[in-house]
Structure 1
Amino acid sequence: MKLKSSLQNIKILLCEDDSDTLNLLKKYLEESGANLETANNGAVGFEKFNKFDPDLLITDLSMPDVDGLTLIEKINKIKSIPCIILSAYGDENALLKAIEIGVTKFIRKPVKKDDFLKSVSVITDALILRKIFEKREQMMLSVIENMPFQVIVLENKNIVYVNPALLEYLGLKNLSQVTKTGFSMDEYIFDRGDPRLFAKKFTDWSYELAESEESEILIGLGEKNQKDNDYKIFAVNIRPTQDKNIIIVIFNDITRFEDEINKHKRVALLDPLTQALNRNSLNESFDVMINNAKNSSKSFSIIIFDIDFFKKVNDTFGHQIGDEVLKTIVAIVAKIIRQSDKLFRIGGEEFLLLLPDTAGKGAMMLAEKLRLAIANHDFNEIKNLTCSFGVYEALFNENPESIMAKADSALYQAKKSGRNQTKSAN
């Protein structure tokens, strides 16, 4: 389907408070023949929505008075339409909220013309397809043939049609490979995280969802016999037809959107300066460590250490040098510890190590190795620095607060004894 013809048949509302971006996107859309209305803020956008009754909303995330997410929520109360969010920054909470309220696409600024128009094209093609279904036009299959996303048509729980996009993605050559006896779509589905899919066949849950109010789910889809981590994430939308025996299953690849969210989740768990884990991830890691230790009956240990006289470093050499010291300490520790060990920055110059499958003796040996490595390192103009270490082998019935308190007590003893020492609380 040509972009120009698809945009002419779809009404688009564009909301953007930055005039330069608004004019640029307006130009892109109008050059493609869009039936377009614009608004320079969310409040005006909502007024124009009521008058214009658009099929698609494209809105900036951050706007005065009424932001993009609030605008979408207000519109959703009246009418459910596809929405594209534009944003110059990656806000994890905004991304999660966007998924929750059903945002179709998240596009980063600055907007690239080809990517933007391609995203709009995918959605407008889908909107046209939906209108065609509603009008029961006879050209349905020829339109599906040209859809950029993947489509299956089921009749009486049998696959009767698969469009070329899905055939190509699954590594199949023609429709006969799908409609023949013995073919199972379940062999290509690698992730059934949604509880509605557990122990059910693809054809069964597709019809169940077609009859439910919530007809969209997420699955992992890939080629047969591939490795599990090679699959992509698809939003699956089930469309019933006038004939209850026939349903249309539409697969929309949202892998990049999911990857973006996961990336921001990972960033939220890291200390931005040193890239060690931060306190946000400590509680969850502690719980996992305690449960694993209980299940395996193996000990785990904790090390808390900090830099001796670090305030003097900042006062004498400045905070920029102090920051470099923190990053260097983390780099030294990271080279020595195991991949399974976890390093957290829990304070200004204070760090914590979680050591799975490690008894107190092993933790003491590691702490000493780290202490010596740091003490012998040349920190340029500062020359030498030292750290004090507190070690504790945890008991299975202890909570994180108790474990940390005992390791902290050992650290206090190390400092009290003259610093640059390792003490155990066991």
Structure 2
Amino acid sequence: MKYLDNNLLLNSVIDLIDDLIFYKDKHFRYIGCNTAFLNFVGKKAEDLIGKDDFEIFDHDLACLFRKHDKLMLAEGSVRSNEEWVVYPNNNKVYLLTKKIPFVYDGINTGILGISRDITSLEKANQQLKQQTLLDELTQIKNRKAYNLKIKSLLAVFERYQTPFSIISIDIDDFKNINDNFGHDVGDTVLRSFGALIEKNIRETDHLFRIGGEEFVILSESKTKVDAIQLAEKLRKIVAFNTILTDINITISLGICEVTTGDGPNSIAKRVDNLLYEAKSHGKNKVTYHSVT
């Protein structure tokens, strides 16, 4: 009777816990869980006990659970993992799950799992991470985001020879705007310019503010010709658009395409030289090496 009372007390305590608690036998069948787990997966106890994950969840989710269960049993120690999970009720959450081996029936080793819903924390972390990749003034991606993206594109190019182009953009005579109208107006011009460019590029084009009046587009175009056409379109849009009343600006652009052996520094140096060439030959120009 004392043993029964202890079990009832333990189950009552477990049911008061908000974390999701479940336990499975050595064949990965559920032998118990708390009320929070039942509510979370939208099941009744009789629909869960005695069944394994493949009888309850979709195949991909069941495979994920089985993978972690097997790893934990093989290691024989506590195992933690974090992941996005979509449950049968279409509830998508980010879970921190810890699994440990536990002995039942005196001889068999099963799985005890405790999952905590940390969705709000993960979303906050993602939002914070995104904020660190945005330029504070213009709210477009910054140099840190550029460094991450170009390394990713170079890795894909090295492995699959997937081409991309880099377009370096500089606002012509921007210093005159600051000198004649003040830095507040200059900042407004930069914000308006960034918004104008971002509005006129494609999903496969990625705009970054590198610093000052310098911007870069990493274009996942199939050919450099596509990047050149994009650059010319942007140059004309800017030249014929009044960013602010009585303020017209022009831009100079340099374009180059990734080549074998390129690294972040080599491709940046080539495109900077082309941008300098555009500015040295009258500005409001697009400069690129001849397409072969």
The alpha carbon displacement at 1:294 in A equals 4.3
Name the TM-score, length of structure 2 as normaliser.
Answer: 0.85
Cα 1:348–1:256, aligned 2, differ >3 Å: closer, same or farther? same
Q: Does 1:312 align with 2:176?
A: yes
Choose from 60, 83, 106 the match for 1:219. 83
Q: Does 1:237 align with 2:104?
A: no
Q: Does 1:175 align with 2:57?
A: no
Cα 1:392–1:246, aligned 2, differ >3 Å: closer, same or farther? closer
Task: Provide the residue aligned with 1:154 in structure 2.
Answer: 24
Structure number with higher relative contact order (C-alpha < 8 Å, ≥ 6 residues apart) = 2
Choose from 11, 16, 37 the match for 1:166. 37
Percent of counterpart pairs with the same letter?
30
Q: Which SS does the other structure have where 1:337 is aligned?
A: coil
The alpha carbon displacement at 1:374 in A equals 0.8
CA RMSD of aligned residues (A): 2.8
Q: Structure 1 residues 323-332 or 377-386, which shifts more?
A: 377-386
Q: Which SS does the other structure have where 2:84 is aligned?
A: strand
Task: State how 1:13-412 maps to structure 2 within 5 Å.
Answer: 139-157=9-27, 158-172=29-43, 174-181=44-51, 183-184=53-54, 187=57, 200-201=66-67, 203-208=69-74, 211-212=76-77, 214-224=78-88, 226=90, 231-238=92-99, 245=109, 247-412=111-276
* Deviations 1:134-192 (CA, angstroms, capped at 9, x unpaired): xx7651112222322211123445311122221222122x1121124465388369679
Q: Structure 2: how far apart are the matches of 1:143 and 1:188?
A: 30
The alpha carbon displacement at 1:298 in A equals 4.2
Q: Which SS does the other structure have where 1:184 is aligned?
A: helix
Asked if structure 1 preserves the Cα contact closer than 8 Å seen for 2:21 and 2:114, the reply is yes
Task: Provide the residue aligned with 1:417 in structure 2.
Answer: 281
The alpha carbon displacement at 1:381 in A equals 3.8
Q: Structure 1: how far apart are the matches of 2:61 and 2:280?
A: 54
AA matched with 1:224? P
Structure with the higher fraction of residues in strand conformation = 2
Task: Provide the residue aligned with 1:117 in structure 2.
Answer: none
The alpha carbon displacement at 1:248 in A equals 3.2
Asked if structure 2 preserves the Cα contact closer than 8 Å seen for 1:189 and 1:221, the reply is no
Cα 1:305–1:182, aligned 2, differ >3 Å: closer, same or farther? closer
Q: Structure 1 residues 297-306 or 240-249, which shifts more?
A: 240-249
Q: Structure 1: how far apart are the matches of 2:59 and 2:133?
A: 30
Return 5+ residue gaps in structure 1 as ranges.
1-135
Q: Structure 1 residues 380-389 or 292-301, which shifts more?
A: 292-301
Q: Structure 1: how far apart are the matches of 2:267 and 2:97?
A: 46
Asked if structure 2 preserves the Cα contact closer than 8 Å seen for 1:390 and 1:425, the reply is no
Q: Structure 1 residues 246-255 or 371-380, which shifts more?
A: 246-255
Q: Structure 2: how far apart are the matches of 1:186 and 1:396?
A: 50
Asked if structure 1 preserves the Cα contact closer than 8 Å seen for 2:31 and 2:50, the reply is no
* Deviations 1:189-239 (CA, angstroms, capped at 9, x unpaired): 9679xxxx9795454345456x32x4432233332395xxx6311111335
Return 5+ residue gaps in structure 2 as ranges.
1-5
Q: Which SS does the other structure have where 1:258 is aligned?
A: helix
* Deviations 1:228-273 (CA, angstroms, capped at 9, x unpaired): xx63111113356675736532111011111111111111111111
Cα 1:349–1:186, aligned 2, differ >3 Å: closer, same or farther? farther
What count of residue pairs does the alignment treat as equivalent? 281
* Deviations 1:254-312 (CA, angstroms, capped at 9, x unpaired): 11111111111111111111122111122221122223334554432111011111111
